[in-house]
Amino acid sequence: MPAALRSLLPRRMRRMCVLVATAALLAVACLPAPSHGKVEWAVQQVQVLHRHGSRSATVHYNTTDICGATPCGELNLEGETMMRNVGKFLRGRYSTDEEVVETPFLSSPDYDLRVVTSRSTDVQHTLQSAQLFLAEMFPTADRLVPAIHTAPTSQDMMLYTFSQPWVSLYVTYAGAAQQARMNPVIDRYFPDWKVLRDLSVELWSEGHCSDYATRLSCVLTLFDIVTAKRSVGGLPSDFDDRYSDLHAIVAEWNRGIWHYDSSKAFCVQQGGRGQPFLQQVMTNIDDFVAGRNTHKVMHYSGLDISLAAVWGTLGDSSDNAMQPTYGQTFVLELVKSLSSGEYGVRVLRGWPGQTPETDFTFSWDSAWKLQCRRSDGTNYAAKGNLCPLEDFGRYVAWTAAKDPRGMCLLDAEASDVLNCPTPAAEQAVTVSLSESCLLYRAACPADACAPGYVLSASGHHCTCASDLCLAPRSCENNIDVPVTVHTVGISKVATIGISIATFCAGALLAVAVTLILMLLLRGARSARDLEPCGKYLTPSEPLREGM
Within a domain: residue 7? no
Give the tens place of pLDDT for each residue, 159-206.
999 999 999 999 999 999 999 999 999 999 999 999 999 999 999 999
Specify whether 210 is located in the same domain as 354.
yes
- 402 and 437 both lie in a single domain: no
Q: Are residues 399 and 485 in the same domain?
A: no
CA distances from 216 to 60, 151, 175, 210, 212 (A): 18, 31, 9, 12, 9
Question: Beta-carbon neighbour count of residue 476 at 10 Å?
Answer: 9
| Of the residues 353, 376, 409, the one at which a domain ends | 409
CATH of the domain at 78: 3.40.50.1240
pLDDT band with cut points at 50, 70 and 90 for residue 428: confident
**296/422 same-domain check:** no
Residues 380 and 433 in one domain: no
Q: Rounded distance, CA 52 to CA 79, Å?
A: 8
Same-domain check for residues 299 and 396: yes
User: Using N-to-C axis directions, what is the helix angle for 304-313 and 240-258, rounded to 10°?
Assistant: 60
Residues 301 and 350 in one domain: yes
Please list, in sequence order, all residues whose beta carbon lies within 8 angstroms of the beta carbon of residue 31, skipping any fewer than 6 positions away: none
Q: SS3 of 62, please?
A: coil
In this predicted structure, the answer to whether residue 285 has a pLDDT above a threshold of 80 is yes
Residues 150 and 170 in one domain: yes
Query: pLDDT of 314-370, one tens digit each?
Result: 999 999 999 999 999 999 999 999 999 999 999 999 999 999 999 999 999 999 999
Going by their DSSP bridges, the two strands 329-337 and 41-51 should be labelled as antiparallel
pLDDT digits (tens, 9 = 90+) for 105-124: 999 999 999 999 999 999 99
Verify that 386 and 259 share a domain, yes or no: yes
Q: Do 377 and 518 fall into the same domain? A: no
Instruction: Judge if 98 and 220 occupy the same domain.
Output: yes
What's the rounded Cα separation, in Å, for the pair 181 and 179? 5
- For residue 63, which amino acid is it? T
CA–CA distance, 93 with 490 (Å, rounded to integer): 60
Within-domain flag for 17? no
E strand intervals along 150-307: 297-302
The tens digit of pLDDT for each residue in 244-284 reads: 999 999 999 999 999 999 999 999 999 999 999 999 999 99
| pTM (two decimals) | 0.80
The count of structural domains within the chain is: 2
Confidence of residue 79 (pLDDT cuts 50, 70, 90): very high
Residue 543 lies in a domain: no
Are 119 and 139 part of one and the same domain? yes
| Predicted local confidence at residue 29, as pLDDT | 43
Domain coverage including residue 517: 418-529
Q: State the pLDDT confidence band at 484, using cuts at 50, 70 and 90.
A: very low
Q: Residue 13: its pLDDT value, please?
A: 54
